Amino acid sequence: MFYMKCPVFLLSLPRSGSTLMQRILAKHEQIATVSEPWFLLPLLYAQREEGTLTEYSHRNCQIGITDLINELPDKQSDFDEAINLMATDIYQKLCSNSEVYFLDKTPRYHLIANDLVRIFPNAKFIFLFRNPMDIYASVMTTWGSNSFKKIYAAENDLNTGFQNLIAARKLLHNKCLVVNYENLVMGTKKVIDEITTFLEIENTLLIGDNLIQLSGKLGDQVGNKKYKKVNSSSIGNWKKCFNTSYRKKVIKNYISSIKSSHLEEMGYDKTELLNSISKHNVSINLSLRDRWHILFSKTATLFNGHLLFTDVYKWARKKYLS
């Protein structure tokens, strides 16, 4: 039986271009992938006291799992090994054409990035970073119809995601590959050469060919349908989104809130980003709609109000969650 070499984790924030990179790499005959697996998130959150609400009392579940782990001969190491074996078995079965690697691209894995580094010591890790202004703009246009109304959905991503990724990268030292979205779309062949060299496989990809279409419901469905080939037109789209004096202030405050060292780790210069915002010409208006949407988003974040007013979560209003 053919055995996969190891999983490859593509770690990034949502709206960073990870689906594009996945669609490029999916063309390689030695790389298998599916849209977004996600399954490691609930497995690893099972050991966390916070972050999960359930009907069955997650708090008691976490206590029970902790007790179980403490009874194992090598405790956490044994439990980690079991998760590794289960995940590897799943990845292996998804390599249906004897691929060498399975690529797991799940952007919210930034929340468990440190755990992944610990549990999968032999895995390959690729970090994808993008200009945070373009990420913010993409969140607004894709999830919020070019408004701040649903920015609460990306609260964790925008405010803690970079720190999570940087912390995991530091744990790996030089045993990982860092890619910038801008380099990926402007110099695709060079970046793919770097990735295939990192994975120790031959670069057989023809960049000019159409990208693979992913069939899953998750991932960048807009880009999956709209773009057949690599396209660099999204670079600098933040200027179209943050096109009023009020919005310009919002993005300036956001970039100011990110540590210079974190931006440097991602390959960006804080001073240059702020200067580009300052030079950006915008219209002047009261932006009452934007102010209301930001207030709504902040209220939703603070009180989880979005759970109270949507049909998707109406079941939660009828249950006691613990």
Can you give the residue ranges of every domain in the chain?
6-145+153-232
CATH class for the domain made up of 6-145+153-232: alpha beta
What does the pLDDT read at residue 313?
80
Whole-angstrom CA distances from 267 to 39, 67, 107, 129 are 30, 42, 19, 8
What is the average per-residue pLDDT within 92-100?
Answer: 95
| Burial status of residue 312 (CB atoms within 10 A of its CB: 0-12, 13-18, 19 or more) | exposed
Give the model confidence (pLDDT) of 266-299 as tens digits. Answer: 999 999 999 999 999 998 887 899 999 999 888 8
Q: What are phi and psi of 321, to 5 degrees?
A: -105, 140
The whole-number average pLDDT for the span 218-236 is: 75
Q: Are 17 and 184 in contact (CB under 8 A)?
A: yes
How much is the pLDDT for 217?
80
Question: Residue 10 has what DSSP assignment?
Answer: E
Token pair 């993008």: residue: 130
Query: ∠ at Cα 33 (229, 134), nearest 5°?
Result: 50
- Report the mean per-residue pLDDT for the chain: 92
Q: Quick one: pLDDT at residue 185? A: 95
Range in 2-6, 65-69, 90-94, 204-208 the model is least confident about:
204-208
| pLDDT of 1 | 60
Mean pLDDT of 260-265: 96
DSSP assignment of 37-63, as one string?
--THHHHHHTT-SSS---SS-HHHHHH
Q: What is the pLDDT of residues 133-163, one digit of tens each?
A: 999 999 999 998 999 988 988 999 999 999 9
Give the per-residue pLDDT at 12.
98
